[in-house]
Amino acid sequence: MAIRYDEERRIFKLDTKHTTYIIGLTPEGYVGHAYYGDYMESGDVFYLLRTGERPLTPSALPREKSSFLDFFPAEYPTGGIGDYRESCLDVRGSAGCRGCEILYDSHRIRKGKPKLNGLPASFGTEDETETLELVCVDKVLNLRVILSYSVFEEEDIITRSVRLINEGEECLRIEKVLSACLDMDDEEFEMVTLVGGWARERGVQRRRITYGKQMVSSAKGESSHQEHPFLALVTPQTTEQQGRVYAMNFVYSGNFIAEAELNQHDAVRMVMGINGEDFCWNLRGGEEFQAPEVVLTFSGEGFGKMSRSFHDFYRKHLIRSPYLHKKRPVLINNWEATYFDFDTEKLLDIAREAKKAGIEMLVMDDGWFGKRDNDDSSLGDWTVNEDKLKGGLKYLVDEVREIGLEFGIWFEPEMISPDSMLYREHPEWAIHIPGRQATQSRAQYVLDLSNPEVVDYAYECVAKILRSAPISYVKWDMNRQLSDLGSSYLERDSQQELFHRYVLGLYEMQERLVSEFPGLLLENCSSGGGRFDPGMLYYSPQIWCSDNTDAVERLAIQEGTALIYPLSTMGAHVSDCPNHMTGRNTPFETRGHVALAGTFGYELDITKIPEKDREMIPGQIKDYHKYNELIREGDYYRIASYRENHKYDCYLVAAKDKSEALMTFVQVQCVPTFHGKKIKLLGLDSKAVYRLEGTEQVYTGEMLMKGGFIIDFVQGDGMSRLYHFVRQSEDHIKK
């Protein structure tokens, strides 16, 4: 059993294959966190709650209740009653006072994992997971709080979520509801987060935790380019292969907070959930509120083990797409090829040349609808511009399919242009503050997805187009963040529900989309990687990683992304040079190698690129078909980081059975030398013999991992190499 309850000691023990999580109950019913870390056979660790130390528990010394609460390692701390650290739940009752105290009432242990109403969440069969539901109550507020823990043994993952039920008649104001907390003694922890900006998403940041609160967050209406719903606490000198890592990732696509607080007692509180800024929820009598899910993992073997646990978990228990275990079609997108300047014949020219090279899909990006010749108009008017697409959309799609390519299309369904038929008819559908000039970004406003009528309209715009022609792929974009928070649909006292209701509306639209069009390949996007989060992966198996397609820049972006997410989720394309964003020239071969560590496709005008580049495309596509299953399903190992050493990048993907491994080496900056570089591989079978494909060179796995592999010196910045190692059979070795 993954979850056990010791009734005598009042301890819950949650076990995965390599980790243990222990919860203890005090005599009063406070729910405490006792342990999380490497697997322990014994669960008799109630002493770790320190209830016998000063300050004593409230029942033993009522006068010191506040001292106890501000010290006790709580599983789910509440605000307003004497714990002055970061709270997870703040409730304002009908009297107008803020205060909530929850005590254990009952529990249930069940096989499998229930769905979360209206939210994306992980899933597992009764053979794969068990769930603990800890029921706590605040009898003053008539509030029931259900703390849910689901244990995924094989992946070393525990998920947490919270459900609130108002069992009284008075309305409760939920001013903050986070989803997970982890209280631990400080181990000189360092904090690892993913930060950046547009075109430089998910850069790895690491810093020592100091006294006080340190956090990353978003209040932009999406998970954002700037910060990411991920937080890890690591012990000093933690590397890819060693050190302790405690990590959280939020299955949510809106505002979030991820925080670590070092307090006066040299203890650290780590919390994650919906950002409390501009959030308040009216929980009326008999109603429920479901908070999103947090994914927790512990690794005693450094970042590498953490990454592989996340990767396996998301592949097996979050992504639902039928494309999950399939090769994605090699596509060519016309955005960087034409921007808004295209017509039917231009797209067909690209399609014909793409077919010759072995490309499998043409994607038509922004500019095909309304009077959209630039980004100043027409969002919301999802009717085909037949001045550009002569003969209509179906004619274009049929012609592309006749050439032998599948067809994909771009949408931005959540937005509305001030210059649009829709805005002239329904200005109240745009998010805005009455009486105030709304802020534009990219000359557009945001549709109010808290309004079911707006959700229905936006969904039908997409669905109507998809019903009109055989379209295989949709790129769903979002090119601005939310501001001027006001909804003409919501009541005055519910305006602070807008952020969360917006995300729920988005999830409803995408759930309807994948249900009506189950064979559709959906790729989410938000000006690149502004909404690359587990919530989106529940609906789409891949997300456009960044608008920055420069191969060198992508090394750092894809490294940070792969810290949490499988390579198969990262939208990655080969683009033209000089790169449209950086002006950098990188060898075409290297651009192909870097894009292989993702979904792989092209973002260029194939009719205009140099002939020598065009001639390389069939070989790159051949590599994609050869290595994609390994890259998509294998174990990822980070060997060297260009972000850290400023010279070269190296990563490896090994098959689950260690039968083969593909190593990618990118020499960003050439350093003159008289010898090759030695690289120690990871993830191989130390006792097996491997041959370097294309040569007769053989090595044992032990030699490659301990002694290393010599990469021959090559001149030139931006050069790259692929090395494919294949395990040899016993017969081959004897020969």
User: Which active-site residues does the annotation give?
Assistant: 477, 547
Return the structure tokens found at 41: 């056979």
Establish whether the linkage from the previous residue to 578 is cis, with ω within 30° of 0. Answer: yes
Q: Is 618 helix (H, G, I), strand (E, B) or coil?
A: helix
Secondary structure (H, E, C), 667-735: ECCCCCCCCCEEECCCCCCCCCEEEECCCCCEEEHHHHHHHCEEECCCCCCCEEEEEEEEECCHHHHHC
Asked whether 414 and 253 are in contact (CB, 8 A), the reply is: no
Cβ atoms within 10 Å of 469's Cβ, excluding its own: 18
Residue keyed to tokens 């030139």: 716
Which helix (H) or strand (E) segment is 587 a member of?
none
Output the 3-class SS for 283-336: ECCCCEEECCEEEEEEECEHHHHHHHHHHHHHHHHCCCCCCCCCCCCCEEECHH
Residue with tokens 């274009």: 396
Q: Is the preceding omega at residue 55 within 30 degrees of 0, hence cis? A: yes
Q: How far apart, in Å, are the Cα atoms of 115 and each of 121, 249, 685?
A: 7, 18, 39
Contact by Cβ (8 Å): 153, 541:
no
Which residues lie below 8 Å from residue 719, measured CB to CB, with a gap of 6+? 587, 590, 666, 667, 670
Contact yes or no for 331/355 (Cβ under 8 A)? no
Q: Which H helix or E strand runs over 455?
A: helix 452-468
Helix (H, G, I), strand (E, B) or coil at 199: coil
* 560, two tokens: 């940070």
Asked if residue 300 lies in contact with residue 37, where contact means CB atoms within 8 angstroms, the answer is: yes
Q: Which stretch of DSSP H or E encloses residue 504?
A: helix 498-516
CA distance 668 to 717: 5
